[in-house]
């Protein structure tokens, strides 16, 4: 009741792909209080965690309300970088690889192209099909870079509930 575990996505591309699940509190204020930081001003790390938690909650709500029932996970590459959310839109079959949408969430006014590396790395890997790569940030302008959409948070939420994310 205090939160949810987000499992690690394991597309079975490499044996080393094992990671513990991430835990998202139902409320970042409760998480701060549990950490003894309720009266301290939040730093960028906490604000970033709050933004990621907000997006995770919205993904879960949309997934449930629209009866999508898509598995949501995070992915950690063997090199240690992460993709914040991986949504499996088609399961692996004997004839086709799994299909996923990847999301990277950043608390930043400007999008840094280096944040795309982990999504592009997964996109290039054999045995998985990345159908969408989406960056979400707190800036004010949308971009499109070679198959990657970068949207401000508000636009992302609008597009999510329009069914354009998954």
pTM check: above 0.85: yes
Of 17-21, 47-51, 129-133, 145-149, the one with minimum mean pLDDT is 17-21
State pLDDT tens for residues 28-60: 888 889 889 989 999 999 999 999 999 999 999
* Both tokens assigned to 119: 């999504």
Segment 63-85 shows an average pLDDT of 93
Domains and CATH numbers, the chain: 3-161 (3.40.1350)
Contact 139, 108 (CB under 8 A): yes
Of 106, 105, 88, which is closest to residue 97 (Cα–Cα)? 88
Please give the Cα distance from 107 to 153 (Å, whole number): 10
Whole-number Cα distances in Å, 50 to 16, 28, 43, 128: 29, 6, 11, 30
Please give the Cα distance from 112 to 58 (Å, whole number): 24
Of 53, 48, 46, which is closest to residue 22 (Cα–Cα)? 53
* Both tokens assigned to 66: 């629209």
């Amino acid at each position: 009741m205090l939160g949810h575990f987000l499992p690690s996505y394991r597309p079975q591309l490499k044996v080393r792909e094992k990671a513990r699940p991430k835990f998202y509190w139902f409320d970042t204020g409760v998480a701060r209080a549990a950490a003894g930081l309720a009266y301290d001003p939040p730093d960028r790390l906490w604000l970033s965690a709050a933004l990621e938690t907000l997006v995770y909650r919205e993904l879960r709500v949309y997934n449930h309300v629209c009866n999508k029932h898509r598995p949501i996970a995070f992915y950690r590459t063997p090199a240690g970088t992460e993709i914040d959310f991986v949504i499996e839109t088609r399961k692996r079959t004997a004839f086709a690889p799994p299909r996923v949408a990847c999301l990277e969430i950043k608390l930043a006014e400007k999008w840094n192209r280096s944040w795309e590396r982990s999504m592009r790395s997964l996109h290039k890997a054999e045995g998985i099909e990345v159908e969408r790569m989406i960056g979400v940030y707190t800036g004010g302008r949308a971009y499109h870079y070679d198959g990657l959409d970068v949207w401000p948070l508000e636009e992302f939420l609008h597009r999510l509930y329009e069914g354009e994310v998954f």
